[in-house]
Structure 1
Amino acid sequence: MYQYPQRLFATRLSDKEILNKMKFGLLGYPVAHSKSPALFAAAYKHSPHTYELLEFPDLLKGLEAAVKGGYSGLNITAPYKEEVLSFVHNADSLTSEVAAANLLLFSKGEIKAFNTDYEGVKSSVADFVTPGIKALVTGCGGAGRAAALALRDLGAEVVIANRDYKKASKYASRFGTAACPIEHVPQFAKSARIIIDTIPAETDIYGNTSFDGKLIFEANYRNPQLIDKCTAEGGKYLSGIVWLVNQAIPSFRLFTGENPDSEAMELLASLW
């Protein structure tokens, strides 16, 4: 694990200052498009806490800037959810199983990692999952793995599809799910009742597969690719905004120790 210079932690705010005002943020590259600051503002309207964007092409420099800047915690987004685990002192069991983190807490000279993507997916799709329902997750990055694990724990039969089949197979073995090469997506998508798409690049991997009667949950809310096809073919579409909100609620609670105004967050998200 990377050893941070102690001088960085020495520059942090005092405990008294932290209690009065805490700084949080989102670290990734790029992040200028993120809606997380607006969600945080809605969650804590009368709070002195702040939430900022930290856009760094180098993860280590971003982490050092956050520690030096007195941040109490960070959300982590692409492309750093996996890499960041090399720079933390410890991670909870869920984060270790997913092997990806989207939240860090800074406390007493240490950095602890968490994963709220899992809860974001689980709470979003729980009403649609019945025992043994077939589900397909496309992509095996941090978001895809959290989605696969959440579906598995809800009782679905999960297949993970990925361009790097060896990676998909590795995590499928760990999770007790199945895996397939990305080229086989049309075959598995036909029988799947739930499809969670976490592939960020614009691509058509579904071929002529009809989305009729399927739940399509697309992580990419910035530039969605599947909503028109899903709507036209009679599927049920869930926007990545739903995932964003449902992972932000436990994230913000971990940050502050206070319950966020989830109704205000959902109201704001409904306008996007």
Structure 2
Amino acid sequence: MDRFGLIGDPIKTSGSPALFRAAYSDKVQADGTPYGYDLIEGSDFESSYSRFLSDYKAINVTAPFKEKAYARVLALAAEGKGLISGPVAKIGATNLLVKTGNGIEAHNSDFTGIIVAVAEAYYPGITREFLKEYGDRFFIKIHQFFRACLDRTFTREPQALVVGCGGAGRAAAVAAAEMGFATVLMNRTPEKAKAIADELPEYGFIVDPLTDFKEAVKECDLVIYTLPAALDEIRELSADDYAGRDSGHGKVILEANYKNPSFGEEERIKMISADATYIEGKKWLLSQALTGYSLMTGIEPDLSAMENAQK
């Protein structure tokens, strides 16, 4: 029997177990046992990582262990006992570890979740269609499809704005750039945004101050907001600021915070009037879980059941 779980601290209120149970509620493993998902809470990384090694096939990793888990697999990869995906190496953090025949693989479902959620906004129904056709690696095909259709989706090079440069913001920046967006970084501490831009020169990140927030939102096609609290400037945005710059599609706004959204009802009304698409934090969480659980188990999760679990 394979076991799955989550390490981090604190994680008692995590929604991951409910989503996992929904994803595999009608499935059993090869030996007939149901799929289970445990919370492995503890402040000591070494203890939690040892539990993973001894008892689990795959685990999700949350704060404060994402960078430590990445460093551990990076060391294993140097010995030929681990594998780090390209995006994980760019982000410098992992939130998913999977045991394989080639060692421990490190992935980042923040990255894959953004790609799936954004692609779904531009191509409604693509998630379910590609999941059915391509199985557990459906998100790779979605990424390839989005890049291949970039010239048909936009009439010029699309631009993205990533607000906040913490762990989620860094994953968002890499995801936006990998999807083909010219990406602007914005953070309360501009030095943090500049550090990311300097570390990843291949993406050509542009760093803007928060004082340019309103203008940057208006100019960009995709806005990914990862700050934990709302900027006062959000209330100053008009429907015109949310209007799409490209004739082919309205603006897309993705928010990371699913517990206390920064874009409230008034802002969403403005988005609707401007034909903009708002991706709430729960949608990103669902996309993270969908891509992550596929990697963990190697089989297709039940998307409809996961969606119902969030209602």
The TM-score normalised by the length of structure 2 is: 0.71
Q: Kindly provide the CA deviation profile for residues 104-156 of structure 1, in whole angstroms up to 9, marking residues without a partner as x.
A: 11357953311122221111112447352332111222321222222223222
Structure 1 unaligned spans of 5+: 1-20
Counterpart Cα distance in 2 of 1:114 and 1:205 = 35
Q: Which residue of 1 aligns with 2:24?
A: 44
Q: Which residue of 2 aligns with 1:81?
A: 66
Q: Which residue of 2 aligns with 1:215?
A: 252
Instruction: Check the 8 A contact 1:216/1:230 in 2, yes or no.
Output: no
Tell me how far 1:182 sits from its aligned partner.
3.7
Aligned counterparts, 1:105-184, within 5 A:
105-107=98-100, 110-126=103-119, 127-128=121-122, 130=154, 131-173=156-198, 174=200, 175-184=203-212
Q: Kindly provide the CA deviation profile for residues 218-247 of structure 1, in whole angstroms up to 9, marking residues without a partner as x.
A: 111122221324224235321111111212
The TM-score normalised by the length of structure 1 is: 0.80
- Which amino acid is the alignment partner of residue 221 of structure 1? Y
2:57 counterpart SS class? strand
CA RMSD of aligned residues (A): 2.5
Match of 1:56 among 25, 28, 42: 42
Instruction: Check the 8 A contact 2:17/2:37 in 1, yes or no.
Output: yes
In the alignment, does 2:1 pair up with 1:30? no
Q: Which residue of 2 aligns with 1:98?
A: 91
Match of 1:200 among 224, 228, 231: 228
- Which amino acid is the alignment partner of residue 2 of structure 2? M
1:252 counterpart SS class? helix
- Which amino acid is the alignment partner of residue 86 of structure 1? A
Instruction: Check the 8 A contact 1:182/1:205 in 2, yes or no.
Output: no
Counterpart Cα distance in 2 of 1:67 and 1:183 = 47
Moved more, 77-86 or 31-40: 77-86
Counterpart Cα distance in 1 of 2:36 and 2:253 = 34
Counterpart Cα distance in 1 of 2:181 and 2:299 = 33
2:208 counterpart SS class? strand
Instruction: Check the 8 A contact 1:43/1:260 in 2, yes or no.
Output: yes
Whose helix fraction is larger, Structure 1's or Structure 2's? 2
Counterpart Cα distance in 1 of 2:208 and 2:296 = 37
Counterpart Cα distance in 1 of 2:68 and 2:85 = 16
In the alignment, does 2:282 pair up with 1:248? no
Aligned counterparts, 1:247-266, within 5 A:
247-266=288-307
4+ long deviations beyond 4 Å: 107-110
Instruction: Check the 8 A contact 2:163/2:227 in 1, yes or no.
Output: yes
- Which amino acid is the alignment partner of residue 53 of structure 1? L
- Which amino acid is the alignment partner of residue 176 of structure 1? G
Whose strand fraction is larger, Structure 1's or Structure 2's? 1
Q: Which residue of 2 aligns with 1:9?
A: none
Tell me how far 1:97 sits from its aligned partner.
1.5
Distance 1:155 1:74, change over 3 A: same
How many residue pairs align between the two structures? 249
Counterpart Cα distance in 2 of 1:143 and 1:243 = 11
2:97 counterpart SS class? strand
- Which amino acid is the alignment partner of residue 18 of structure 2? A
